[in-house]
Structure 1
Amino acid sequence: MSGPQFGPWHRLSAVSVHAYTAVGVVLALLMVHMSYAGEVETVLWLFLAAMIIDGSDGFLARHFRVKEVTPGFDGALLDNIVDYITYAFAPMVLLWSTGYLPDGWWGGVVASVPLLASCFQFCRSDAKTDDHFFVGFPSYWNIAAFYLIVLGAGVATTTTALLVLTVLVFVPIKYVYPSQTETAWWLTMTLTLVWFGLYALILMQYPSPSLWLIALSGGYVIYYAALSLRLTLKRRRGHSGAAVSSEAGASARTRDS
């Protein structure tokens, strides 16, 4: 039995989705260039553009069935390449080139630590679980850089924050995948869109943004972390309960035999 037949429009739509994802590479190039030019605000706007693309290309890929229409092209690999350079590499370039990291080669060392940790995470076969979670801190270095910059963090604070988040990459907490995790999906997506709006408002006020706006946007970060931790603990308790029930059942069968 042959599979579905796709016409030129379907193929054009699928290829367009891949091209839309690939635009992130151009944004990353601009991020690096603008970082060395000292255009911090421009880079932060580019971060927002990259996040919007990353948050919407999955919907488009599923809608246009790109896996079926273009089976010879690995869209997931493309997405990982773009995410690595926009979420990890470019933010470290921005922080290092604009004086948020230690001077000299120590700054390069600090910048390299998150990049190496992200290499590990992006190559993990279980980095994204079947129930749509990220395992370990999901390399949101662009968001970390955003807050460090708008809050005017010093070198010590920035370095400490990056090292702490690097450790969290290896801690098996399951972080919510906002556009796909089913639990509290509507609430999470609504708050995500609100956060995008707050991000833009903060940048409009940069370099002297309202602390109230920053705190309000930080509420979403707290919600995201709390929901991720709660769901992680809930699933662990569920697995523990299932294991205890299984052991009890095995013991009962042994006594009956």
Structure 2
Amino acid sequence: MTQRGEGGRRARVKPFLVHIFTACGAACALLALLAAARSDYVAMFVWLAVALFIDGIDGTLARKYHVAEILPRWSGDALDLVVDFTTYVFVPAFALATSGLLPQPVALPLAIAIVVTSALYFADEEMKTQDNYFRGFPALWNAVAFHLFVLKLPPWFAAAVVAMLVVLTFTPLRVLHPFRVPHLRMLNLIALAAWCALGLYALLTALDPGAVVAWLLVAIGVYFLTVGLATADD
């Protein structure tokens, strides 16, 4: 009995470490928020990038160590949603509200619209199509904020972009998931790798990479946002 109990506890260690690893994304969110509060937006995006890396591999680790089967008490899906909302939505919304990128009269209302519509989107059981596209703009406000910080658009134009994406959250727009959509997968992964390389360069240049890199980032982002229009719906 004791040996089986000790063996069972040992078997639960690695799966629980995976949950802790996922939860570290929330720590990254806090560090990113503190960086944003002191207007250190490079550090903010670095912490958001670390959180994105965690989000990118924790699912693989969860499957490898059979986390759902061994630790059914803790919901990995719920943990993911909590962490993703803070890193994909809440911190970027705070940065957009306080950075001066948006006009002061609408900065806070737009940030509120971001968090409210994103909360609804995260609760949508049909946020993905059967062929693994996101349905509507998938609340990737960390990416939106990154583009806006790099582009430094006129404030009212930036506000129009944010407002448009808020509206697109609840439209039939099909947005690419580069890892899970089989259509053009190799091209999608190449585009993602190029975006990551350009994004890293933008961080190394303190979010001032020059017009060519900035608009290349935008072009890849628009590709991810619109390539699903060319495929049949489910």
- The normalised TM-score by structure 1 is 0.81
Distance 1:226-1:129 versus aligned 2 partners, 3 A rule: closer
What is aligned with 1:160? 160
What is aligned with 2:229? 229
What is aligned with 2:90? 89
Q: Which amino acid in the other structure matches residue 138 of structure 2?
A: P
Distance 1:192-1:9 versus aligned 2 partners, 3 A rule: farther
Matches within 5 A, 1:151-190: 151-190=151-190
Distance 1:225-1:103 versus aligned 2 partners, 3 A rule: closer
5+ long unaligned stretches in structure 2: 1-6
Query: Quick check: 1:10–1:64 contact (8 Å CA) kept in 2?
Result: no
Q: Which amino acid in the other structure matches residue 235 of structure 1?
A: D
What is aligned with 1:123? 123
CA distance in structure 2 between the aligned counterparts of 1:33 and 1:69, rounded to whole angstroms: 35
Identity among equivalent pairs (%): 29
Query: Quick check: 2:42–2:206 contact (8 Å CA) kept in 1?
Result: yes
Query: Following TM superposition, by how much is the alpha carbon of 1:188 offset from its aligned partner in structure 2, in angstroms?
Result: 2.1
Give the root-mean-square deviation of aligned CA atoms: 2.0
Matches within 5 A, 1:96-135: 96-103=97-104, 106-135=106-135
Query: Quick check: 1:55–1:179 contact (8 Å CA) kept in 2?
Result: no
Query: Quick check: 2:136–2:170 contact (8 Å CA) kept in 1?
Result: yes
Q: Which amino acid in the other structure matches residue 81 of structure 1?
A: V
What is aligned with 2:4? none
What is aligned with 1:64? 65
Secondary structure in structure 2 of the residue aligned to 1:235: coil
Moved more, 185-194 or 42-51: 185-194
- The normalised TM-score by structure 2 is 0.88
Query: Does the alignment pair 1:11 with 2:12?
Result: yes
Query: Quick check: 2:149–2:207 contact (8 Å CA) kept in 1?
Result: no
Distance 1:174-1:64 versus aligned 2 partners, 3 A rule: farther
Query: Quick check: 2:98–2:107 contact (8 Å CA) kept in 1?
Result: no
CA distance in structure 1 between the aligned counterparts of 2:115 and 2:73, rounded to whole angstroms: 29
CA distance in structure 2 between the aligned counterparts of 1:64 and 1:184, rounded to whole angstroms: 30
Matches within 5 A, 1:239-254: none
What is aligned with 1:140? 140
Query: Following TM superposition, by how much is the alpha carbon of 1:128 offset from its aligned partner in structure 2, in angstroms?
Result: 3.0
Q: Which amino acid in the other structure matches residue 14 of structure 2?
A: S
